[in-house]
Each structure stands twice: as C-alpha cells, then as structure tokens.
Amino acid sequence: MALASVASYTSTPEEAGLATSMYSVVSNVGVAVLPVYLGSLYSSYTTLDYGVGAVMAINFLAFLMALLMKS
C-alpha cells in the first residue's frame, strides 16, 4: 500500500519507478541507521526523553513532508 501511494504522487510511469525505488532506499536506511544513533538514547532513563523527542521530531517532519508533497 505504501508503494502504491508513493506512485500516485508521480505523473508518469518512469517517475513512479524512481519514486518507489527511492522509497525503498529511504526506508531501508531508516531501519539500518536510526537504531544505531538513537538506540543509545534508550539505554537509561536520563536520556529516554531525548530519544522519544527525536522520534517525535522525525515523525512530525515526515507528517509535514507528506502534506507538502500532496498534490
């Protein structure tokens, strides 16, 4: 479903292929990189707020980007 929604943002089939491949790249990078950098923030209660705040900021940024990309 996510890839189908990404393809609907494009006007040609060629752009849809690039958009879906870039979606896969970004989602894989997020799965591989974010736990490495944010995982240490969840190791103690003193840094837990920073970890939760970072994840909330990333989610808010993704929400804003979704609104701006909507055509």
pLDDT in tens, 14-56: 777 777 777 777 777 777 777 787 788 788 888 888 888 888 8
CA distance 6 to 4: 5
- The pair of structure tokens assigned to 71 is 């055509």
Query: Does the pLDDT at position 12 exceed 60?
Result: yes
pLDDT at 24: 75
Residue 3 neighbours by CB distance under 10 Å: 14
Question: Residue ranges per domain, the chain?
Answer: 2-69
Task: Centre a 10 Å sphere on the Cβ of residue 24 and count the other Cβ atoms it contains.
Answer: 13
Q: Is the pTM of this model over 0.75?
A: no
